[in-house]
A and B are shown apart, each in its own frame.
Chain A
């Protein structure tokens, strides 16, 4: 499926900003199930300095410095992406979860070490014994990894309520766990904390959901906004993407922007501003099937 994405972020400040720096993760990365085509990022006011490159996880990243005084800052990112559904791997045929870490450690190839780094706590995913115990209920000894991971996904989806007023960007995982509420970012961090408490490599993935579902299908929670889910490592199937907010395996309605250890590594728009006073943020996301097989019009 080919999709057109338009992601527009508008910052409004109560006082002028004299200078600001921003780091953007707004260009979809290449990955096995996805091929990116054109992508543009327009910024207003025009930045004095802009550099586009890749971060240490290979995600496209854009650095900006705005050096003229401004009270409004608008970023518009437009991309076109081809997404395919990854092949399914029968969950019961995946390796026992408790062997995965030691296999990677023994193998010790650069690729394995690269995978291993996602098995450890990161700033947004530290959690206590309660979360670890919660995770264990899905992961009895010897259980196939994917089976257990799907089970965990289902439980989080069933036992936690989507509530955008319950938490903020900085709410710790333990608090999310206690409240049993949150948004997609919280559920992703929670599931990562669960998996990492068992030394299982898992990544945080940011991206988008299709805005209007195909006929007959329900609209998924998290569309019209940027979305977050997780990716767990399976020796047979590679990285398998799971969405705890919607209790699905990722197929062709999710578009991946970037992955990292957690939100801190890849937040879509990150910045430092001088001045500004109070600020408000408006985010508008539209993801639609491309109008034609060629480049769609926005």
Chain B
């Protein structure tokens, strides 16, 4: 295993006390009800938040409200790498290939990647040769986790607020430990691209959601990136509070948008990959500081 995750599992830190979880739920529930008063959501017509939407609302509302543009090649490669990591987690096989990862996705009922690669024909070789070394870097870190950690992939987590008028849902790439294993929870997020600091927020949000679901705070959030980075973050009460504040801010922003406020255009490094940039004056005008010297993707 990569040293980061291996070290966490070999000597997991003591998770924070669960004493503050109830107060966090109350805070979030109050915030959700306040947002509903503006946004007009109800149990029948709820606001459905995901980690992507929370991040999107905070990063650039204009992009968050734009229609999906479909999966590009880089997204497809990311999905292949993601699937390979999950296959490595659940399969005793020693080596995970691109073909095995695509077959795994197809067996799970998702043929998007297989169809995309088939449509590309021989040109798909460029994608698979891009994905293969990423898989080789990432998959070994998840293979061979001791069964006592209860490794499970795409573990669903959902938080219901304001009587069901707001929900926050997600699937954790890999979840280890937590009740009833007797071991502390460890959240593993798999990223197919390059590391940037914004990736930490996903682990924080999932730590908050798992704490609300299980009544126990996870010990760590580990982000394993296909560029070879492994980021280990031990969960502290301040991180949960920070995640709750981000969620609160996302709900406030969503409420204003649902009430008709025009979405703000907040240009930044994310513009480089934004599919609606051609229609976005702020995005078109944005240029990376110092021409992307050391900037995140």
* A, B in one complex: no
